[in-house]
Amino acid sequence: MEQEGLFGAAPAVTASGGSLAGADESYEGQPLAVRMRPRALDEVVGQEHLLGPGTPLRRLVEEDQPMALVLWGPPGTGKTTLAYVVSRATQRHFVELSAVTAGVKDVREVMERARRELVRSGTGTVLFVDEVHRFSKTQQDALLPGVENRWVSLVAATTENPYFALNSPLLSRSLLLTLEPLGPEGIETVFDRALADERGLGGAVKIDDDAREHLVRLSGGDARRALTYLEAAAGAAGATDDATITLSIAEHAVDRAAVRYDRDGDQHYDVASALIKSIRGSDVDAGLHYLARMAEAGEDPRFLARRLVILASEDIGMADPSALQTAVAAAQAVQLIGWPEAQITLAQAVIALALAPKSNSVVKAIGAAVGDVRAGLAGAVPPHLRDSHYSGSKKLGHGTSYAYAHDDPRGVVQQQYAPDSVADKQYYQPGTRGAERDYAERYARLRTIIRGE
């Protein structure tokens, strides 16, 4: 199994020569996740692809090489922990800025101090910017002089997709490193260390295998959360005679898993994408899983309903035209009844859409038509179809030879409707699934009459 990820969170850093405030091993009253924070790269669990010999992070720590790094990963994967390890190892000044509280003035002051210190003593500065995605464009631009001139080695952390959250100039000057959640074996390693280490529980508490498995599963690959759950369970177990975390204790200590899903961040788009692709792939159960994840994370039900309405036309279309009615009805029901009852309606829609036959002929048809229009194939409307309800129109030949379809017993007549430039185009290519088989036969008959084929 994979062992990917880090754990822990660092307290605020200062510019006092590379030490973090409160980092000198005073753990009294600190959460377990803080007490068990790695102190060196060799204590880090997982992320081998970032920490091997010769990797940028390893060079930054061991060789003090100036560089700009962007650490991208979900919560609890160790972005701040890496900054903590760097702060302990580097001989440079270490400064932290939080994008939540720092402004452009703060960034410029740090850059100016770093420049002066580099000129005066030759000592560089490592600047750690937490939640850099919260910086505005102007604030991100203020980082550029220091990065370009190597006044600072930038270590920026973000939970958002950097290609959306960061300015291109800053991203192009930085090395992007992706951090991944820990696999189950990685969480197990974190538990083992925390249970045995004197900084952690020091062997005072034991844990049953089924309780351990339960906590590992609930952690969702987030080591900080895993240690928080373990600490809560250990506290409950400490009141028992044998100080053992049983499954029952673990379940009561951790009432439910906090769903690892950021409705305002990158995972919002990842989970939404997985929902749509699961329904498109006709996997009912996967669709319900992603619906539940988004619902439990507090997703706006109107967003879910809108996505289902789009899918009904995009991925089902004429294979089952009633799918659009189902999706629209679900969207209306969401507006009518609200949450949480609306999740039942959305679940019904997900099931119905996943089970429906699939066709993307509608989206392909309009895509092809739009493509021709954009390519300049927007010819003149045939004269017999032009408006003839104004004085003088008949002198122009507008509408004079128009054949009224209702005058024909079949309700359809041979007549050119499309401009000459696209008269022979066939945008709609019917599929063979579901109801579209019948529509394909009708389409062929009508096209034969209209075009005289």
Average pLDDT, whole number, for the chain? 82
pLDDT of residue 347: 96
* Cβ–Cβ < 8 Å for 431, 363: no
Question: Which of 154, 178, 202 corresponds to the end of one domain?
Answer: 178
Residue with tokens 């034969």: 448
pLDDT, residue 26, reads 55
From residue 86, give the alpha-carbon distance in Å to each of 15, 19, 92. Answer: 13, 10, 9
175-178/206-207 β-pairing: unpaired
Burial class (CB in 10 A: 0-12, 13-18, 19+), 312: buried
> Whole domain around residue 372: which residue ranges?
361-451
Same domain for 205 and 239, yes or no, is: yes
Report CA-CA distances (Å) from 447 to 40, 65, 414. 73, 70, 9
Domain termination site, one of 262, 287, 307 = 262
Residue 347 sits in a domain whose CATH number is 1.20.272.10
State which of 315, 332, 358 marks the end of a domain: 358
Tell me the mean pLDDT in the region 139-146. Answer: 89
Q: For the domain that residue 204 is a member of, what is the CATH number? A: 1.10.8.60
Total domains, the chain: 4
pLDDT in the model for residue 266: 56
- Is the pLDDT higher at 350 or at 29? 350
User: Domain check: are 212 and 312 in the same one?
Assistant: no
CA distance linking residue 274 with residue 187, whole number of Å: 25
Q: What is the pLDDT of residues 43-77, one digit of tens each?
A: 888 777 888 888 877 877 777 677 788 998 887 78
Residue 11 has pLDDT above 70, yes or no: no
Q: Which of 148, 117, 114 is nearest to 128 (CA)?
A: 114
Identify whether 92 is part of a domain: yes
Residue 169: is the preceding peptide bond cis (ω within 30°)?
Answer: no
Q: What is the pLDDT of residue 150?
A: 86
- pLDDT tens track for 393-431: 666 777 677 888 888 888 888 888 888 888 888 888 888
At residue 225, does pLDDT exceed 60? Answer: yes
170-211 pLDDT tens trace: 999 888 988 887 888 888 999 999 999 988 898 899 999 989
Q: Give Cβ neighbours of residue 258 (< 8 Å, ≥ 6 apart).
A: 225
392-396-397-398 Cα dihedral, nearest 10 degrees: -70
